[in-house]
Amino acid sequence: VTAAGVRPVSGPAPDWLFPSFERHTLSNGVQVIACHLADRPVIHVRLLTDGGIRREPAAVAGLGHITGRSLLEGSELRRAEELNEALEVLGARLDVGVAWNGIATHLTMPRSQLLPALELLAEVATAPGFRDDDVRGVVRRRIDETVIQQRVPHTAGMDAFAAAVFPDGARMALPKWGAASTVATLDAGMAERWWRLHAQPFTSTVLVVGDLRDVDLDALLGKTFEPWVTTQPALSPPALDPLGAARRGIVVDLPQGVQTTLCVGLASPPCALADRAALQVATHVLGGYFGSRLVTRLREEKSITYGVNAQMNNRKGSSVFLLTTAVEVPATLEALTDIFDEIASVAGGVGFGDDEVRKAADNLIGRGPIAYKNAAAVADTLQSIVLNDLPDDYVDRHRADMAELTPGQVTEAFRRHVDVDRLAVAAAGPAAAITDPIRSLIPGVFVR
């Protein structure tokens, strides 16, 4: 039977729910989340503790990051080389990432090595080394890395974007991992105090995701993390992030640049759980995927970019709407005008249409099973649930919410959160060529 020209019609996607996971609490208060995914031979473990970026005073911006990286420099029992060798002989990898609301220590290993790798993670977390020379080395390396990041258009643009959307002097206005000037002030004593203040059993969670057949996780964690003793009382939550008041524009001069990297957006008060679905769909329609308005306009119709990205980053202290793209230098003003026009058409114009909302929502809903078949993605989302205090059924609930949305709800939510008059722009590219064009839209734009 030839099928040429006869297009099949797909049935509805099978019912799907986020992979089930179990929670329990160790006797010392450590929360445990275990998620079994068959035939995923590499286990993903995350130790989630307090002490993220939102806890940092601006003067020590980067302290959470330096603290986390210093964990990799060894424990009380062994120096960095010995620790890393012990991990790597197991095929294990240990990394630390600092998030807005916590420090996430990532451990991966083949499932056969789960116990010895967990023992090393517990050793690092409960008896960290924080030796003076090791932390000094981490600080020096981080400062050198900032030099590179300032020359990479995307990271340079993102650092400037933070400065454009948050008020001067605020922690959030500084680069995510701190500025060279603040990182330079950090030392081992500060890192050790930061870790001991924030990494306590009763505020920590251990996630384990992968093929857990025949794994006695209770026994493994009882042996590794249950002996961890509380030494500090709980901290009150950090204050909400202060927000920038007016439209701002910042240009980062990359004189040799052949493109302009544009970051457009703003920070707004934290998004209510009920608004999350609508805001995700709104940003998706604008620039979140191939079918979005701005991908169509800037890439498919005008061919002035390779791609566009849009997202709403929901943190506990604020929500950040962000749209990024990189365009040919001569097209900088044209692209920026198109971006502003699209946002304004929603914020002050006709709003979102039925067809585009339905398509964007269907895309996001359909992504569920496709995204969460791999262990790393499941671990990422469980981490987000823990660090952002989201309900355990967040993914399923969020998908159901998106299915019910009307264009009016999406438009209204977007208007509540995105004030066009406060939109900020950060641009990384050759300042001599792009500053004046940007000034025609944002008169106060300056080069830094």
Partner 1 sequence: MSTTFPYVQHELANGLRLVVSPDRVAPVVAVNLWYDVGSRHERPGRTGFAHLFEHLMFEGSTNVGSGEHMRLVLESGGAVNGTTSTERTVYTETVSVEQLELILFLEADRMRGLLGAVSQEALDKQRDVVRNERRQRYDDQPYGTAYERLYALLYPEDHPYHHTPIGSMADLAAASLEDVHGFFRSHYAPDNAVLALVGDIDPDHALELVSKHLGDIPRRRDLPTDPEATLTSPLPAPARVSLQEAVPASALFLGYRLPVDDDPTLPALEVAMAVLASGRSSALHRKLVRAELAQQVNAGVDRRVVGASIGIVIAIGRQGVKAGDIEAVVVAEIERLATNGPDAVELARAKSMLERNWLDRLGSLEGRAEEFARSTTLYGEPGEINGRVDRLRAPSAEDVRAAVAQHVAGRPPAVVEYAAIGEGVAA
Q: CA 130 to CA 128: how far, in whole Å?
A: 6
Stretch that binds partner 1, among 10-18, 163-171, 335-343, 438-446 (CB under 8 A): 10-18
Residue 121 touches partner 1, criterion: CB under 8 A: no
Q: What are phi and psi of 188, to 5 degrees?
A: -65, -40
CA angle 425, 426, 428 (to 5 degrees): 145
Residue 446 touching partner 1 (CB under 8 A) = no
Closest to partner 1 by CB, 38 or 246: 38
309 vs 203: CA distance, rounded Å: 34
Q: Does 91 participate in binding partner 1 (rule CB under 8 A)?
A: yes
Query: Three-state SS string across 222-287, please?
Result: HHHCCCCCCCCCCCCCCCCCCCCCCCCEEEEECCCCCEEEEEEEEEECCCCHHHHHHHHHHHHHHH
Our CB check for partner 1 shows the closer of 138 and 267 to be 138
Q: How far is the CB of 170 from partner 1 (least distance, A)?
A: 27
Half-sphere exposure of 379 (CA within 13 A, CB side): 25
Note whether 153 binds partner 1 by CB under 8 A.
yes
List 29, 97, 110, 353, residue binding partner 1 (CB under 8 A): 110
Residue 89 near partner 1 by CB under 8 A: yes
Piece of 83-91, 120-128, 196-204, 341-349 that binds partner 1 (CB under 8 A): 83-91
Q: State how far the Cα of 443 lies from the Cα of 437, in Å rounded to an integer.
A: 10
AA letter at 104: A
Other beta carbons less than 10 A from residue 368's beta carbon: 17
> Footprint of partner 1 on residues 307-326 (CB under 8 A)?
307, 326
Decide: is 262 part of the binding site for partner 1 (CB under 8 A). no
Tell me which of 29, 116, 238, 368 binds partner 1, using CB under 8 A. 368
- Read off the tokens for 415: 């208007």
4 lines the binding site for partner 1 (CB under 8 A): yes
Phi, psi torsion values for 123, nearest 5 degrees: -65, -45
Least distance to partner 1 from the beta carbon of 423, Å? 23
- Measured in residues, the chain has a length of 448
CB of 10: closest distance to partner 1 in angstroms?
Answer: 5
- Distance of alpha carbon 52 from alpha carbon 55, whole angstroms: 6
Of the candidate spans 12-20, 22-30, 123-131, 384-392, the one that interacts with partner 1 by CB under 8 A turns out to be 12-20
How many residues bind partner 1, per CB under 8 A?
81
Q: Is 270 in the site for partner 1 (CB under 8 A)?
A: no
Rounded to the nearest 5°, which phi and psi values hold at 255?
A: -60, -30
Please report whether residue 112 would count as binding partner 1 according to CB under 8 A: yes
- Choose between 88 and 436: whose C-beta lies nearer to partner 1: 88
User: d(Cα 230, Cα 29) in Å, to the nearest integer?
Assistant: 9
Verify binding: residue 259, partner 1, rule CB under 8 A.
yes
Determine, following the binding rule CB under 8 A, whether residue 214 of this chain makes contact with partner 1.
no
Q: 136-175 b/e with 16+ CB inside 10 Å = b?
A: eebbeebbeebeebbeebebbbbbbbbbbbbbeebbbbbb
What is the footprint of partner 1 within residues 276-295 (CB under 8 A)?
289-291
CA distance linking residue 81 with residue 73, whole number of Å: 8
Select from 85-93, 164-172, 310-318, 415-423 the region that touches partner 1 (CB under 8 A).
Answer: 85-93
Write out the binding residues for partner 1, residues 184-213 only, by CB under 8 A: none
Stretch that binds partner 1, among 84-92, 158-166, 190-198, 235-243 (CB under 8 A): 84-92
List the interface residues with partner 1, window 348-367 (CB under 8 A): 359, 362-367
Q: What's the rounded Cα separation, in Å, for the pair 156 and 133?
A: 29
Smallest separation (angstroms) from partner 1 to the CB of 90:
6
Cβ-contact 31, 97 below 8 angstroms: no
Choose between 102 and 257: whose C-beta lies nearer to partner 1.
257
By CB under 8 A, residue 69 contacts partner 1: no
Window contacting partner 1 (CB under 8 A); options: 234-242, 303-311, 385-393, 433-441: 303-311
> Measured between alpha carbons, how far is 283 from 279 in angstroms, rounded to an integer?
6
CA contacts within 13 A on the Cβ side of 169:
1
Binding residue (CB under 8 A) for partner 1 from 70, 75, 101, 108: 108
Instruction: Classify burial at 411, counting beta carbons within 10 Å of its beta carbon; exposed 0-12, middle 13-18, buried 19 or more.
Output: buried
Residue 14 is a binding residue for partner 1 (CB under 8 A) = yes
Binding-site member from 23, 59, 77, 81 for partner 1 (CB under 8 A)? 81
- Nearest distance from C-beta of residue 268 to partner 1, angstroms: 27
Least distance in angstroms from the C-beta of 78 to partner 1: 11
